[in-house]
Amino acid sequence: MKLYPFVLTSLLFSSCVFANFDFEGKGKVTYPTGVDKTFAFGFAWDEQKQTFRIGKKTYNMSSLPESYSIALTLSKDNEKVWVQEFNAGFIDSFEWQLGEQTITLKKKEFKVPVKGNYVLSLNKIDYFLVKNNVSIQIKFNEKGIDNIKVDGVTKDMGAKK
């Protein structure tokens, strides 16, 4: 009978040893027609089961992946974008909440032309697209998201308002 409390206490503490996280990744896309659609694209790591979830799919992995990249592709006419993870076709804009991180892509008019009139924001820091293919790289650590970097953009320094 004395063994039961010991086993229960051991189980409680042993589950804390494993590194786990789960980010649902709620978001919203806006189509060129103006219609909004919600989506979920997140990441989860279960060290005990050695599984990693990307979006709706779960994969067996012996260790936590270092990173995941999302490609944002600007259409030839510079009017819309395609993000495979968020939608099957072209969209006008998106908002995406990944844990404490917020990433948005919106159109905005500027005095000086910018590629597609798009502003990509990462945690309220604005960037302009400089390439037709932009990469959003999410780096992981055992606690979750270590950082997010964007490539193919330039930081808004306030000169194009």
Average pLDDT over residues 5-24: 60
Q: Does residue 9 form part of some domain? A: no
Domain count, the chain: 1
Q: Does residue 161 form part of some domain? A: no
Average pLDDT over residues 47-65: 96
Q: Does residue 7 form part of some domain? A: no
pLDDT, position 72: 97
Q: Does residue 53 form part of some domain? A: yes
- Please state, in angstroms and rounded to a whole number, the distance separating the CA atoms of residues 146 and 82: 26
Q: Does residue 13 form part of some domain? A: no
For tokens 């008019």, name the residue. 109
Q: Does residue 11 form part of some domain? A: no
Is residue 9 pLDDT above 50, yes or no? no
Is residue 1 pLDDT above 70, yes or no? no
Judged by average pLDDT, the poorest of 49-53, 62-66, 125-129, 152-156 is 152-156
Q: Does residue 130 form part of some domain? A: yes
Judged by average pLDDT, the poorest of 55-64, 96-105, 130-139, 148-157 is 148-157
Domain that holds residue 87: 20-155
Structure tokens at 130: 């400089």
